[in-house]
Structure 1
């Protein structure tokens, strides 16, 4: 089998740049080296307050990796993902090396087609329940990528989660540096990164069950409250090392694309992951020995506008050995 070429790199990066990231910071770079597509952390885009450890950036790069794998698979050039392949190059997170050529599966084609349609929807969802068959697909999607996905069932579990998430949200709202950083990634125009103010949640009301990210000052339309019994999923993995964050990111993206392909909307609720005490409380409430890496609100929602992305050329880098 032959190595990847520049067209493969561009296809992988084009898909990868549509992955989710905290505040739409897009902390990834892509390059071609020795016939492999590599994904690197763009450390200039790591959030110094909200993501001091870099875990959120690694989660985002793992999601970008899953998109890139799909893009290569639909080209008939599937990849094996080698995570953290070089101890002497910490910014190098993933090395995608070619596997034997084959025709893409129908599932790969469907998930790849969902990539441009997937984006966070922070608006209220409709009260319609998610069918059991789709819930099973979401759980299987996480399991396929080495993660677990717990769906919170019943108001007892949901109320307990809401208390944990609300407490974490209050901690973060009291952090002036955290709030200033989030404001710095919020814009009113057509910037290629960050979050448009209009894409945030409407301002909260006292009766809201779950905390949301609101990046602007818009109020909700009368009668459009959040769903009274939301479906919340907690995604986690067995460890909490950098390699585990990359694994979780790939699983997260497969879950989100599976949801998108099924007609669901989703928004991520990261507050209980960002606050250590809340995260530990969430883990104990689930009876899990592993580590929660993200919580997701899922349901049926009206279409919303996605945030913009950096151009393809902005996320491509060239290794000196590959310059022509």
Structure 2
């Protein structure tokens, strides 16, 4: 349990301890990250839990640290849920020390209380959320679930635009494929991607078995080349996917971390509703494509990630490092 310590004034305050840290980190490591790079570290300082970017795991091609901050923001949200589910909710400060650029969040104990139903439901979804890169079925996502997904983003001060209609999907497809072509021509990017693709059971990266089949010219969406498997000739991968674009008002480091929290809340909301998800980052990784995507949405804010929603055949969760490796 959280312990009570005396402050110099003689008043008492709650403080997190080692068991709280391990609880938060165990949930935090289940967050998504670009190429499953897992760029987070968890530590305890002065009774607060700190989450920071692991500089060794910051992607060289991750758009100036954007990918690591979004991933760490998602880890922050999982940690928040774990502490709330245990009756020890956190007060979160994002990027509390501007001079320490790798410190993305500090969690201090709030007033103890029972978890809400929503917190308990989302926390229960944490171990079941993973990216499903296989094709989804044609079954549409119900309207009430779509509303819940958009509400989840708003609850974290973000927006989620669900693309409706052929025009919107075609525009997104063209932007995504254009960005993918740019990244495929980047030898440095492709070399880094290859280092995170594994044929065996590693504790990070994307196993070949978790990759999608190789793309075909008619596919609406681009695919990462995590595998060399092919599907039946001429078969559409997914003719009418539900695509959502998540964004926030700003694009500073704290905004990107906040977007990561919103992303994870949306993903867990989808998981709790029985949906599969995967992320599409190519249009965000290429600045010109992201600006084109923003204009196509008519948004004044900044898109931070695109998400694919649907119902599919159970896939293969990517591995996670041991807890001891992420405790600083």
Range into which the TM-score falls when normalised by the shorter chain? over 0.9
* 2:179 equivalent in structure 1: 168
Q: Choose from 17, 21, 33 the match for 1:5.
A: 17
Trace 1:146-161 onto structure 2 (pairs within 5 A).
Answer: 146-161=157-172
Q: Choose from 65, 74, 79 the match for 2:90.
A: 79
Q: Choose from 307, 310, 318 the match for 1:296.
A: 307
Deviations 1:58-111 (A, max 9, x none): 000000000000000001000111011112322111000111000001111111
Q: Choose from 54, 64, 72 the match for 2:75.
A: 64
Q: CA deviation at 1:249?
A: 0.1
Q: CA deviation at 1:222?
A: 6.6
* 1:54 equivalent in structure 2: 65
Secondary structure of 1:2 counterpart: strand
* 1:38 equivalent in structure 2: 50
Give unpaired runs (5+ residues) of structure 2: 1-12
Query: Are 1:236 and 2:278 counterparts?
Result: no
Secondary structure of 1:198 counterpart: helix
Q: Choose from 204, 211, 218 the match for 2:222.
A: 211
Trace 1:53-202 onto structure 2 (pairs within 5 A).
Answer: 53-202=64-213
Query: Are 1:254 and 2:265 counterparts?
Result: yes
* 1:26 equivalent in structure 2: 38
Query: Are 1:16 and 2:52 counterparts?
Result: no
TM-score by length of 2: 0.95
Contact 1:200 / 1:214 at 8 angstroms: preserved in 2?
yes
Contact 1:125 / 1:301 at 8 angstroms: preserved in 2?
yes
Deviations 1:95-154 (A, max 9, x none): 001110000011111111111111111110000000000000000000000100000000
Q: Tell me the distance in 2 between the aligned counterparts of 1:80 and 1:221.
A: 51
Structure 1 segments, 4+ long, off by >4 Å, are 221-224
Deviations 1:173-214 (A, max 9, x none): 111111111011101110000000111110011111111223
Q: CA deviation at 1:52?
A: 4.4
* 1:322 equivalent in structure 2: none
